Amino acid sequence: MSTNKTAAQNTSIAQFDYDLPEERIAKYPLEPRDSSNLLVYKNGEIQSDIYSKLHEHLPENTLLVMNNTKVVEARLLFKKNTGSTIEIFCLEPHESYPDITSAMLQTNTVLWKCLVGGAKKWRDEQLEMTFEVDATTYVLTAKKVERLSDSFLIEFSWNKPNSSFAEILHNAGIIPLPPYLKRDTEEKDKTTYQTVYAEFDGSVAAPTAGLHFTENVFEKLATKNISHDFVTLHVGAGTFKPVKSETLGEHEMHAEFIDVKRELISKIAEVDSTIVVVGTTSLRTLESLYWMGVKTIVNPQLSMESIALQQWDAYELPQNYSKKEAFLALETWMENNNLERLITKTQLLIAPGYDIRTVNGILTNFHQPQSTLLLLIHAFVGEEWKTIYDYALANNYRFLSYGDGSLLWKA
């Protein structure tokens, strides 16, 4: 077992606690989006600014890597004849679909793993919901197929076979706001809880670091030849899952789908200018790609099934390859397997002791106490995370999904 893995597994989660007063959790976003505060941390120094001036804090020719996933209306409320409500929360598609996009495009019927609120009130009967779109009545049916260890397998079917499941969710479902906001979803959340560049349906939570971007921000970035490109990581409900074990070794990291173009992998291999990721999900994606590349160096005949990254793979694989070597190897493996896009899953856990391989900086919001996202921040800036968070708390920064953000540079 590697020293880094032992250190990561022995990490006590109690070290990553801090006092977050309820009034510091932003219930709504600021308008305009780019008026949010931006904390900039570099070489041990902190300064305050706002997102509309982000371009002033990035060097020319920086490449920004962003997550273009789109939040789906994953909460479905079914009324029983008795008057009680059953809430079905769509987590991820059944393994029989190769990826989330394929499952979202299913017509007539689909299988989905779901959480069920009020499950004890739901026997074996089918649930039905009717709704109207452009004067056409739709009937959506939900049937329990199987009880899983931590969820249910639900079969959804609907009466309009030309409509995809994505369309059904858009019209029948509700955007799932994070539980810590402690409020109902409102009409404006459909817009404000999406990035302006969201494209591919599949997330149950927004990649919130990107919520601060506007056309105004992009225009200013372009004046310094700062470009951007996209990865897709579909954020799962596990992103809100607190670490309940005393040490990290007992915590199971959630797995999430990633979808990345081969041309981006080629670009990352060759980039020698600054790379900054927008959000922890973008970082997890690039770091996962690095380790998938290392896997293909170790075994060039690696199967499609084996490319997926498990929780501790990064701590057990060889540690001596450069970013360029790993990404070129992954690109070659994709060429040999006739893949233009890599669609797979990652369970990567970035924890104290982990060495960031792919980027120079990260734009990210302020995260919950005792969360895996806070562990990731430690991997980036070390014990200075406490200084950064103390500063944000002392200077009235707004926290969590709809809150302010930070630009953190790797030491």
Strand pairing of 227-233 and 275-278?
Answer: unpaired
- Write down the pLDDT at residue 8: 86
Pick from 139, 174, 209: which residue ends a domain? 174
Q: Is 381 within a domain?
A: yes
Do 295 and 379 share a structural domain? yes
The pLDDT, as a whole number, for residue 191 is 96
pLDDT of residue 239: 67
Residue 6: phi and psi, rounded to 5, are -60, -45
Task: For residues 304 and 155, state if they share a domain.
Answer: no
Same domain, 203 and 352: yes
**Residue 183 belongs to a domain:** no
Same-domain check for residues 80 and 65? no
**pLDDT attached to residue 81:** 84
In a domain, 220, yes or no: yes
Measured distance CA(9)–CA(23) in Å, rounded: 33
In a domain, 180, yes or no: no
What six digits make up the tokens of 90? 């769509």
Token pair belonging to 290: 């690095």
Domain ends where: 118, 144, 174?
Answer: 174
Residues 377, 287: one domain? yes
How many other β-carbons are positioned within 10 Å of the β-carbon of residue 166? 21
| Alpha-carbon gap, residue 374 to 26, rounded angstroms | 18
**pLDDT for the residue 254:** 81
Q: What pLDDT sits at residue 211?
A: 98
Residue 185 lies in a domain: no
Q: Which of 390, 388, 315 minimizes the C-alpha distance to 44? A: 388
Judgement on whether residues 135 and 236 belong to the same structural domain of the protein:
no
Contacts of 1 (CB under 8 A, 6+ apart): 316
Residue 225, domain CATH? 3.40.1780.10
**Is there a domain that residue 230 lies in?**
yes
End-of-domain residue from the set 174, 202, 228: 174
pLDDT at residue number 1: 47
- Considering the domain architecture, whether residues 318 and 372 belong to the same structural domain is answered as yes
- Kindly state whether residues 46 and 152 are assigned to the same domain: no
* Model pLDDT, residue 166: 96
Residue 365 lies in a domain: yes
Segments in the chain below pLDDT 70: 1-3, 239-241
Same domain, 51 and 78: no
Per DSSP (E only), the strands in 194-287 are 200-203, 227-233, 256-261, 275-278
Residue range of the domain that includes 284: 3-70+192-409
Contact assessment for residue 397 and residue 366, using Cβ atoms and an 8 Å cutoff: yes
**98 with 122, same domain?**
yes
Counted domains in the chain? 2
Q: Residues 262, 126: one domain?
A: no
